[in-house]
Copies of this chain bind each other. A is one copy, B any other.
Amino acid sequence: MIKQLTIFGVGLIGGSLALALRKAAACTRLVGCSRNSVHLQQAIDLNVIDEFTLDPIEAVRDADVILLAVPMGAMEAIMEQIADHLPPAAIVTDAGSSKASVVAAAARVFGEVPEFFVPAHPIAGREKSGVSAAIANLFVDHKVILTPLDNTCPSAIERVTRMWQTAGAQVQTLGVEQHDLVLAATSHLPHVLAYGLVDTLSETDYVEEIFQFAAGGFRDFSRIASSDPVMWRDICLENKTAILDALQNFQDNLEMLRNSIERSDGNALLKTFTHAKTIRDKNVMKHKTKPE
């Protein structure tokens, strides 16, 4: 049971967690904090949070759990504002999509990463963003990855684990670096590709026809190009190295495919396509969890 959860950034993720905990009666008081009182009032009107304040210090005063659910680029500034004002028993966790940068920010702000800080990443999202898109079951059967450090307090890990489990999520643990590599490949790279594809096609003479006759391939690809641009800009900057790595591998692969098509090398194409299909079919059968 949480007495007061303070959420920095009551958007899709923060708002959905609030709704889930409220539904489960797992939190006595839900407090929101951001720089935007209009959004926070909307969160009150939608019955997502109980109270809000624009003052970070006031926001954390009586909190036992504090969730940083702001865009990656705003994490460090919030940490700086609250660092000297945290209640002794408070646990801090976050919902950032890359973990090394959040951990590095915590180390800079606190001198070392505090034992009460549990880096976390709920793998869930929708095309829509903002508190109006928040839903209580967003995390049901989705994964939340915790990336605790050696010094992270086991009881803090346990508490964050239970919080996300209460929201219906499957909580698992990865190393910080491993998390960033895996997510760069499975989430960050595909988003870059989707934005790039839509941007490319928007430059052609036949944009109108492209959307009019859009087949499934394009629909699937382009859906995630409707994601929040600020969030994804931040992710690209914060998980830069891993994303550039994954991107380079992909670009090399694409160049190889281009060469095969140029040479009309049907055998090479068939080999690659068959290999990809086999890998994908095998692994999808094995891991039947819900997509984002």
Interface residues of A (CB under 8 A from B): 73, 123, 125, 143, 145, 172, 174, 178, 181-183, 185-204, 206-207, 209-227, 229-230, 232-234, 236-237, 240, 243-244, 246-255, 257-258, 260-262, 264, 266, 269-270, 272-277, 279-281, 283-284, 286-287, 289, 291-292
Q: How far is the CA of A201 from the CA of B187 in the complex (A)?
A: 12
Q: Which residues of B contact A257 (CB under 8 A)?
A: 192, 195-196, 247
CB pair A218–B276 under 8 Å, yes or no, is no
CB pair B220–A220 under 8 Å, yes or no, is yes
Q: Which residues of B contact A210 (CB under 8 A)?
A: 182, 185-186, 283
The answer, among B190, B213, B261, for a CB contact under 8 Å with A145, is B213
Q: Which residues of B contact A275 (CB under 8 A)?
A: 199, 202
Q: What are 20 A-B pairs with beta-carbon distances under 8 A? A: A123-B213, A172-B213, A182-B210, A185-B204, A185-B218, A188-B217, A190-B197, A190-B217, A194-B276, A199-B272, A200-B250, A203-B249, A211-B284, A214-B287, A219-B292, A229-B274, A233-B266, A233-B270, A236-B260, A247-B257
The answer, among B230, B234, B291, for a CB contact under 8 Å with A214, is B291
Q: How far is the CA of A174 from the CA of B178 in the complex (A)?
A: 48
CB-based nearest B residue for A247: B258
The prevalent SS among residues of A at the interface is: helix
Q: How far is the CB of A220 from chain B (nearest CB, A)?
A: 4
CB pair B200–A253 under 8 Å, yes or no, is yes
CB pair B213–A279 under 8 Å, yes or no, is no
Instruction: From A182, A187, A201, A217, name the one whose CB has the most chain B CB atoms within 10 angstroms.
Output: A217
The answer, among B174, B217, B249, B291, for a CB contact under 8 Å with A216, is B291
**Residues A292 and B182 in contact in the complex (CB < 8 Å), given A198-B279, A207-B279, A233-B270:** no
Q: How far is the CA of A219 from the CA of B224 in the complex (A)?
A: 11
Q: How far is the CB of A46 from chain B (nearest CB, A)?
A: 22
The answer, among B213, B258, B270, B274, for a CB contact under 8 Å with A251, is B258
Q: How far is the CA of A242 from the CA of B262 in the complex (A)?
A: 11
CB-based nearest B residue for A218: B186
CB pair B261–A240 under 8 Å, yes or no, is yes
CB pair A190–B218 under 8 Å, yes or no, is yes
CB-based nearest B residue for A143: B213
CB pair B273–A229 under 8 Å, yes or no, is yes
CB pair B250–A196 under 8 Å, yes or no, is yes
Q: Which residues of B contact A233 (CB under 8 A)?
A: 266, 269-270, 273
